[in-house]
């Protein structure tokens, strides 16, 4: 097995076994990496693929946001809209300072999602009463 094939298999396994919160954190990790790479390149032709990939990640996060489930979804959608605007603005003329500012926001969002995922995974499960079980089995 080649190194790339092994890495891809490992990544696929990590994604398929991750919780939804962990998958979101993984997206933020990659988004942060794309922004960091774009900010550290000298030529716009080198930054552009990273910026475009970052735009795709933010667009995916935005499109998967369900405003009917969470009252804060509209605010998060506005943040995603801002991130997209900034990334689009940097696509033709990368600005390392602007990209780093976007990176700070992404790092804060990543940290919040990571913390939320940790709280969910460490929350004790509630015992199910027998009357509730009976309602499900008929």
Q: What is the pLDDT of residues 83-126, one digit of tens each?
A: 999 999 998 889 999 999 999 999 999 999 999 989 887 777 65
Per-residue pLDDT band at 52 (split at 50, 70, 90): very high
Q: What is the pLDDT of residue 2?
A: 67
Question: Which tokens in the block code for residue 51?
Answer: 């910026």
Q: How many helices (H) does the chain have, and how many strands (E)?
A: 6, 0
Assigned CATH for 18-118:
1.20.120.340
> Taking a C-beta distance cutoff of 8 angstroms, is the pair 38, 51 a contact?
yes
Here the tokens at position 110 are 């990543």
Q: How many CA atoms lie within 13 A of 28 on its CB side?
A: 20
Tens of pLDDT along 22-44?
999 999 999 999 999 999 997 88
Q: How many CB atoms lie within 10 A of CB 120?
A: 11
């Amino acid at each position: 097995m080649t190194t790339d094939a092994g890495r891809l298999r490992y990544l696929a396994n990590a994604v398929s076994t991750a919780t939804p919160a962990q998958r979101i954190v993984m997206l933020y990790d990659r988004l942060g990496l794309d922004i960091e790479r774009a900010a550290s390149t000298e030529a716009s032709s080198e930054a552009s693929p990273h910026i475009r990939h970052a735009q795709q990640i933010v667009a995916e996060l935005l499109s998967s946001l369900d405003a009917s489930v969470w009252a804060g979804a509209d605010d998060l959608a506005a943040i995603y809209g801002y991130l997209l605007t900034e990334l689009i603005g940097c696509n033709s003329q990368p600005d390392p300072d602007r990209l780093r500012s976007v990176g700070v926001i992404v790092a804060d969002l990543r940290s919040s999602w990571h913390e939320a995922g940790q709280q969910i995974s460490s929350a004790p499960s509630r015992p199910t009463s027998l009357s509730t079980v009976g309602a499900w089995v008929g």
